Structure 1
């Protein structure tokens, strides 16, 4: 039986320099990231062994390094890169859902938030 377990990590906040405008790349702004990590946690639960699950502290560090690292024009690119890196770095993961919020996007009308969500699964993983 395929388990549908997940770990959720919400509100990882860092200043990034992503955007299409020069001032966004120069001045930076906050980006808030939420992730859902899909995996079978039964082995970790049985053994109480961190190495059999995704260390969410390490996941947060990975997110931080990407948000504060290379600047992209689009948050679509940033969000996809985070998802791809998490799957590459954490082999226990079957799939990830990553949402990046850009609450101070340069929009000229009142708004609450702008975000993009991507879902990525390992090749060969059955649909979740």
Structure 2
């Protein structure tokens, strides 16, 4: 069984997109993140040193989402996965979902998104 820490519905304003206007004006993005790690040691000890700080994870994701402009949601998701795995050694794997509610596509929709799953090598 794999334990999880879930951060859902994180919202950020960023300057990402294929179109120049998206990169100039910016828009809202949402990120869901599932971290896979063994939570038994933290559950038994009640010690944050044996788990992952939600606040730290949020700041890592925020750094990517509000940082360097990227064209694709796929690139944002990859960068989030790389930063989280490099910064948090207890995380064995993760699922990243990056949502773009205001994608410049004519039509009615809640959001467009990509989802990736990565694990520590």
| TM-score class, shorter | over 0.9
Question: Over aligned residues, Cα RMSD in angstroms?
Answer: 0.8
Aligned partner (choices 89, 95, 98) of residue 96 of structure 2: 98
TM superposition score normalised by structure 2: 0.97
> Is 2:50 the partner of 1:61?
no
CA distance in 1, matches of 2:3, 2:80: 20
Q: CA deviation at 1:84?
A: 1.2
Where structure 1 has 5 or more consecutive residues not aligned to the other structure, the ranges are 124-128
Runs of 4+ aligned structure 1 residues displaced above 3 Å come to none
Question: Which residue in the other structure is 2:23 paired with?
Answer: 25
CA distance in 1, matches of 2:7, 2:107: 30
CA distance in 2, matches of 1:46, 1:109: 50
1:34-113 matches, cutoff 5 A: 34-113=32-111
CA distance in 1, matches of 2:86, 2:102: 30
Q: CA deviation at 1:63?
A: 0.6
> Is 2:13 the partner of 1:11?
no
Where structure 2 has 5 or more consecutive residues not aligned to the other structure, the ranges are none
CA distance in 2, matches of 1:31, 1:79: 12
TM superposition score normalised by structure 1: 0.92
